[in-house]
């Protein structure tokens, strides 16, 4: 007997599906990872549609904030403070005080650049002048500094003892006569002329009676009545008109200024400029004194540069460096002493401390000519 068998039916294939773990902790981690993936897929599909919105449409959908305008009043904010000048110059003390428009120079006085004679080329902040080309000088005038010493009294003039007046207590009385009257003479003849005779005595004064005395008495009681005589052996020194400025070394400058007048820099006054000018003049006077007292003068042409530190009390706290081309030790010592002997030079002002701080490095160059 033949037995028929039906073929087995195929079951449909099922896609693999993730199976969650039976462990509770592992299953929670799997659920969290799956949720994160779904959120990122949604953002990836929805975000491009949001970015396609036009800016105007986005602004229309956004809430409108309140509007207001800001109007700045004129001159409400001051301009930024101008930086202080940075180059010190020794001005002409005889030039008029005049504030320049704009300059990088400062000194002991306000000045505008000027010169006595016009120059072909103009536009500089200093006058045109002839000088040396191997150095850069900040001086435009030369003068003479004299230390303020106690001057001896001039010799007394020689006086003739016979001309010395008597003391006021022994001055003789001045003769005084009353005002004169007159005498009338008249003849017997009716046709004759009569005459009035008046006598005018010496030393007439409005007094009722005559006062006895002498005629030659000084008008001012106690006056000496003599003029000092000139003694040829002791002549008085003639007055000298000298510019109060340091002896200068000029540097050559071909381009001058268009202003005509006493030679001057473009410079602005500052406390620091005035302080430096007094310090330099003090060092100059001390250096001249040292050279006069020294028996050993360094060779001509010797140059010494001294770099030192000055604090806000005006004290020289450190000699940083001393350089000399000739290497003369005596020349170096003279320059160092000229700076340190007169220290301290005075305390700085508050605005100087604000700009300079507590200390400042300075370099002085000395030229033995």
* Domains located in the chain, CATH noted: 86-144+243-268 (no CATH), 270-369 (3.30.1150)
3-state DSSP assignment of residue 345: coil
In total, the chain counts a number of residues equal to 369
The number of helix segments (H) and strand segments (E) in the chain equals 5, 8
User: What's the pLDDT tens digit per position in 2-43?
Assistant: 444 445 555 555 555 556 666 776 777 777 777 777 877 777
- Give 62's contacts (C-beta < 8 A, 6+ positions apart): none
Give CA–CA dist 106/92, Å, rounded.
Answer: 12
Cα 166 to chain centroid, rounded: 58
Q: How confident is the model at residue 150 (pLDDT cuts 50, 70, 90)?
A: very low
Contact 158, 231 (CB under 8 A): yes
Give CA–CA dist 311/342, Å, rounded.
Answer: 14
Vertex 141: Cα angle to 89 and 365 (nearest 5): 55
Instruction: Give the burial class of 178: count Cβ atoms within 10 A of its Cβ; 0-12 exposed, 13-18 middle, 19 or more buried.
Output: middle
Give CA–CA dist 128/288, Å, rounded.
Answer: 29
What is the radius of gyration, based on Cα positions, of the chain?
A: 52
Please state, for a pLDDT cut of 90, what percent of the chain lies above it: 39
Q: Could you tell me which residue, 184 or 252, shows the higher pLDDT?
A: 252
Cis peptide before 344 (omega within 30 of 0): yes
SS (H, E, C) 162-220: HHCCCCHHHCCCECEECCCCEEEECCCCCCCCCEEEECCCCCECCCCCCECCECCCCCC
The reported pLDDT for the residue numbered 2 is 43
User: What's the pLDDT tens digit per position in 205-234?
Assistant: 777 777 777 776 655 555 554 455 566 666
The reported pLDDT for the residue numbered 117 is 92
The reported pLDDT for the residue numbered 185 is 65
Give CA–CA dist 225/341, Å, rounded.
Answer: 52
Q: How confident is the model at residue 160 (pLDDT cuts 50, 70, 90)?
A: low
Please state, for a pLDDT cut of 70, what percent of the chain lies above it: 60
Q: Could you tell me which residue, 329 or 170, shows the higher pLDDT?
A: 329
Contact 316, 308 (CB under 8 A): yes
Torsion of CA 287, 292, 294, 296, to 10 degrees: 100
Torsion of CA 75, 76, 82, 83, to 10 degrees: -170
Q: How confident is the model at residue 151 (pLDDT cuts 50, 70, 90)?
A: very low
Lowest mean pLDDT among 19-33, 68-82, 228-242: 68-82
- Mean pLDDT value across residues 235-261: 79
The reported pLDDT for the residue numbered 210 is 77
Q: Please determine, for residue 64, whether its predicted confidence score (pLDDT) is greater than 60.
A: no
């Amino acid at each position: 007997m033949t037995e028929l068998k039906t073929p087995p039916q195929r079951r449909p294939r099922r896609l693999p599906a993730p199976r969650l773990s039976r462990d509770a902790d592992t299953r929670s981690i799997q659920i969290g990872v799956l949720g994160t993936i779904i959120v990122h897929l949604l953002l990836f599909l929805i975000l491009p549609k949001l970015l396609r919105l036009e800016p105007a449409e986005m602004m229309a959908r956004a809430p409108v904030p309140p509007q207001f305008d800001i109007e700045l009043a004129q001159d409400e904010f001051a301009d930024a403070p101008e930086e202080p000048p940075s180059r010190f110059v020794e001005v002409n003390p005889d030039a008029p005080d005049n504030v320049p428009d704009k300059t990088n120079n400062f000194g002991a006085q306000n000045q505008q650049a000027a010169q006595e004679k016009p120059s072909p080329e103009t536009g500089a902040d200093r006058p045109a002048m002839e000088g040396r080309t191997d150095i850069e000088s900040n001086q435009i005038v030369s003068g003479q500094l004299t230390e303020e010493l106690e001057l001896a009294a001039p010799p007394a003039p020689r006086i003739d003892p016979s001309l010395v007046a008597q003391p006021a207590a022994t001055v003789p009385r001045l003769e005084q006569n009353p005002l004169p009257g007159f005498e009338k003479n008249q003849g017997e003849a009716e046709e004759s002329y009569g005459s009035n005779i008046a006598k005018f005595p010496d030393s007439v004064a409005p007094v009722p009676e005559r006062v006895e005395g002498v005629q030659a008495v000084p008008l001012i009681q106690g006056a000496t009545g003599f003029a000092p005589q000139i003694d040829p052996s002791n002549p008085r020194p003639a007055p000298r008109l000298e510019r109060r400025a340091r002896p200068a070394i000029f540097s050559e400058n071909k381009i001058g200024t268009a202003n005509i007048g006493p030679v001057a820099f473009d410079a602005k006054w500052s406390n620091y400029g005035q302080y430096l000018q007094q310090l330099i003049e003090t060092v100059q006077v001390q250096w001249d004194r040292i050279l006069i007292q020294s028996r050993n003068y360094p060779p001509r042409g010797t140059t010494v540069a001294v770099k030192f530190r000055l604090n806000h009390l005006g004290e020289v706290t450190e000699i940083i460096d001393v350089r000399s081309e000739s290497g003369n030790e005596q020349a170096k010592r003279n320059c160092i002493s000229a700076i340190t002997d007169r220290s301290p030079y005075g305390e700085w002002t508050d605005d100087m401390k604000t700009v300079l701080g507590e200390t400042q490095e300075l370099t002085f160059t000395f030229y033995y000519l």
